[in-house]
Every structure is written in structure tokens, then in C-alpha cells.
Amino acid sequence: MASLKLKNMYKRYSGGVTAVNDFNLDIEHNEFIVFVGPSGCGKTTTLRMIAGLEEITEGELYIGDKLMNDVAPKDRDIAMVFQNYALYPHMTVFDNMAFGLKLRKTPKDEIKKRVHEAAKILDIEHLLDRKPKALSGGQRQRVALGRAIVREPKVFLMDEPLSNLDAKLRVQMRTEIGRLHHRLNTTFIYVTHDQTEALTMGTRIVVMKDGYIQQVDTPTALYDRPNNMFVATFIGSPQMNIITAKLEKQGNDLHLLFGKNDIKLPEGKAKKLEGTDYIGKEVLVGVRPEHIRDEAMYLESMPESVIESKVDLVEMLGAETYLYLVVEGAMATVTARVNARSKTRTGDVIKVAIDANKIHLFDKETERTII
């Protein structure tokens, strides 16, 4: 069983870079935690502090209830899988997988048993006599995973383990790592800059930016209830549309105005804004592409949130179609995700309906979520 506690952790590199700021996180046994964020946000540094490969400048790290700050990496009962696999080129797959166990003076029979078991799980039994250079990228990745599995660690740490694989293999290995997590019944911490990987693999996701945690949540909660505009636009593909609009009171109702467009806010949303300073001011409106539709049934059922647009580009992807729309009052092109059989063509001037129940509003200055 391995739970982890990261308490007020900081990493300051010499030269004045604070890579990780006041990182706080409790991880339960058997969670699949993903650290995600753009390049340089501090995710690798955090993982390396957990592994013991990087000193913790300030704060505390516990695995179980044991303080780990000054415990050597080899004594932390963790295994790390790196992006470049870090296999020994002159050793066979078997020896690569057995290496850590040999160092620990594990009995030969036990080593053999564990390597064969891991190789079976990963479907690489037929490759045990080969050297790494005779393996494909996907097979090397499996060996790297195998080397971690044989150690039977309490915690698996993975730093972008799939980024050297082609797109198809990446999707396949994603499922396999998920299955592995299920089977091994241990704690996984996984670093990626790819939000799709994070959403599909994590039981909880830690979104980071500039060394700070932005939000820790389940994939669904992150997608549906982002804390701020950064999380809202980072999670989800194509990304959430952001439009600056004026929030105006008209009678008892609240409306969002941009260009010539006027969207009435549903009662439930309007109620939450009552008595706030935002009325009469500009706010940032967030709308996910799937909540902007060109089909007649949506236009008819949502007459109070229909806007005009000119179609800049149509992208048919098989199962769905993306429309890139020029909307008056919107600074950037607005993306809509519509039915694959949409009749809309590039150059058309069309009406689209926005599902106002799904709108997010952000503060223009702080970019924090208002509703």
C-alpha cells in the first residue's frame, strides 16, 4: 500500500528559477495521478523530487507515513520509467529487466520468475534474448515498463513515457498502461504535456502552470468545472472558445452582448450573478465547440442564443465536423463541433445556436471562473 503526501513543496534552482511553488497534494493508494501542463510548468521537477533525483528545496514528502526528503532514491520503493527508456544497449532484454534485481542481490530463481511474469504481462517473452537495438520503439517502451514492474515497487513514476512513439502506438500503449495499473493495484504518477493523455488515463489530474498547481480534479470535473480560463482552455480539444462580451441587465434578465450578437443567460446562471459587480461590465465568455451547433433542431430549441457567423473553414473528420466561424465581436475564430453530415460549406453565412446552459464566464482581469 502506498499513499503519498506532498506538503508545501518548493524547488528553487540556483540562478533564481523557482520551478515548483508551494505544491500540496495527497495521493491515495492505487490512484492514477497525472501531472499535466505546458512545457516548463514544473511537472518533471515535481516527479524527480518524488523519485529523489532532485533535492526538495523546501517542504515535505511522505510515502506512507515515512518522511522521504533525505531517503536515497533506491530506498524509496519506487520505480521510474523515462521518456528515452534508458535501456542498457549492451544487455539483452532479460538482463535489462533483471538488472535492478541483481543489484539488490535477489536470488536467481526469483529474478527469473519475476522477469518471465512481467514479460508475459507485457507480451515480450519472445524478445528476452534480444538487445535493445533490435527492438521497435513500442517494444523498447515495454521493456522499460517491464524493468519497473519486476521491482514490484509501491509507486510507479512515469515521465512522458509515450512521447517517442507514433500516434497509433501511443493510443495502444495508453490503454495498456491503464490495464497495467488495474492489474498491479499500485499507485501511478504520470507526467505528460498532452491533455488527451491526461483525460484518458488519470483518475485525478493535477494541472500546472508556471510552477503552480491550477486545479486538482477528476477528468470530468476538470472538463465541466474548470477553476479558471487557463484550465478551461488547456483541457479539451479543440479548445474552448473565449469571447469578450458585455453583461447587461434587460428587464429581469441578463444578456451577453458582443458585436451585434445578444445571448440571453438562462435563469439559473443569471441568478448566480445577481448582486455581483459584473453586471454592466465586460466578462470573458467560454463556450466549448460541442455547445455551438448549426442543426435546425438546436436553432429552434434555443432561439434566445442564436448568433450570426460566416464560415471560414469546414473540416470533416469522419465522425464529426468542425466549423471555423468568423463571428462579429469575437477576436478569434470560433470553433463549432457539429454533426458529420452537416450541410454547411466554407463561405456560407449561417446562424448557429449556443447552448447557454453550458456557458462559462471568467473575470476579465483575474481570469478566474465566475460561473
> Which chain residues interact with ligand ATP by CB under 6 A?
13, 15, 17, 19, 37, 39-45, 193
DSSP per position, 115-143 = HHHHHHHHT-GGGTTS-GGGS-HHHHHHH
Minimum Å gap between C-beta 216 and ligand ATP is: 16
Q: Return the beta strands (E) in the chain as ranges.
A: 4-12, 18-27, 32-36, 58-63, 66-67, 78-81, 155-159, 187-192, 204-209, 212-217, 241-250, 253-258, 261-264, 282-287, 292-293, 306-316, 320-326, 334-339, 349-354, 360-362
Number of C-beta neighbours around residue 343 at 10 A: 10
Residue 207 pairs with which residues in a beta bridge? 36, 215
241-250 and 253-258 beta bridge pairing: antiparallel
Of residues 44 and 228, the one with the C-beta less far from ligand ATP: 44
3-class secondary-structure state, position 89: coil
Among residues 272, 254, 270, 252, the alpha carbon closest in space to that of 262 is found at 254
Nearer to ligand ATP, 18 or 30 (CB): 18
Q: Closest Cα partner for 101 from 119, 113, 90? A: 113
CB of 204 to ligand ATP, least distance (A): 18
Residue nearest to ligand ATP (CB): 44
CB of 8 to ligand ATP, least distance (A): 18
Closest distance of CB 198 from ligand ATP, Å? 12
State which residue, 35 or 324, has the beta carbon closest to ligand ATP.
35
How near is the Cβ of 196 to ligand ATP at its closest, in Å? 15
Whichever of 230 and 258 has its CB closer to ligand ATP, that residue is: 230
CB of 23 to ligand ATP, least distance (A): 11
Q: Which is nearer to ligand ATP, 41 or 51 (CB)?
A: 41
Which CA distances in Å does 30 have to 33, 184, 185, 317?
A: 9, 9, 6, 37
Nearer to ligand ATP, 40 or 100 (CB): 40
Query: Cα–Cα distance between 347 and 311 in angstroms, integer?
Result: 5
Judged by beta carbon, residue 43 or residue 293, the one nearer ligand ATP is 43
Closest CB 339 distance from ligand ATP, rounded Å: 36
